[in-house]
């Protein structure tokens, strides 16, 4: 399996509940290398740009409002098969349907407040990493 990079976001619900440290500990325990990390507060416009692929979907406004409602932590993760590995570590979008021991199952409270985001494919990961990190930050 190839070494990949993926984007992870600790969402405002998790940050606001003080769960960032727990999530970073789970990232480390799962064997990811954290290549870059930063905390920021997205503006609505920045959230809309990041989620532009969903602009025509009914949840777009709610999603971008939520993602700009508080601080987030963005991380560039690296591991063998990082994209699928991070998605497995997070669990299903709906915490009630996520596997036991996953972040979303253990810490999420709803589909909207599920604590984390992760890239779903190599092209998505490339866009998402580039959205938050300059090339020199990923060396």
Q: Is 54 a catalytic residue?
A: no
Q: Which residues pair with 5 in a beta bridge?
A: 78
pLDDT bin (cut points 50, 70, 90) of residue 69 is very high
pLDDT digits (tens, 9 = 90+) for 13-42: 999 999 999 999 999 999 999 999 999 999
Q: Give the pLDDT score at 75.
A: 99
119 in any annotated domain: yes
Q: Give the Cα separation of 12 and 47 in Å (integer).
A: 12
Domain coverage including residue 108? 3-134
Catalytic, out of 5, 11, 26, 117: 117
139 located within any domain: no
On whether the CB atoms of residues 16 and 109 are closer than 8 A, the answer is no
Contact 129, 117 (CB under 8 A): no
Using a 10 angstrom Cβ sphere, with 0-12 exposed, 13-18 middle and 19 or more buried, the burial of residue 2 is exposed
Stretch 126-137: mean pLDDT: 98
User: Nearest 5°: phi and psi at 37?
Assistant: -150, 140
CATH classification at residue 12: 3.30.70.141
Average of per-residue pLDDT across 37-53: 98
Domain count across the chain: 1
- Residue 90 domain flag: yes
**Mean per-residue pLDDT, 105-133:** 98
């Amino acid at each position: 399996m190839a070494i990949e990079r993926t984007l992870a976001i600790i969402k405002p619900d998790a940050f606001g509940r003080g769960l960032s440290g727990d999530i970073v500990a789970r990232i480390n325990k799962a064997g990811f290398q954290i290549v870059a990390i930063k905390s920021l507060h997205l503006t609505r416009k920045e959230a809309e740009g990041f989620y532009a692929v969903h602009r025509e979907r009914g949840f777009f406004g709610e999603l971008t409002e939520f993602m700009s409602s508080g601080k987030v932590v963005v991380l560039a993760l690296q591991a063998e098969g990082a994209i699928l590995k991070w998605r497995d570590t997070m669990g299903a979008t709906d915490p009630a349907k996520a596997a036991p021991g996953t972040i979303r199952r253990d810490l999420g409270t709803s589909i909207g407040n599920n604590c984390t985001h992760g890239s779903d494919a190599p092209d998505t990961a490339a866009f998402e990493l580039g959205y938050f990190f300059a090339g020199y930050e990923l060396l």
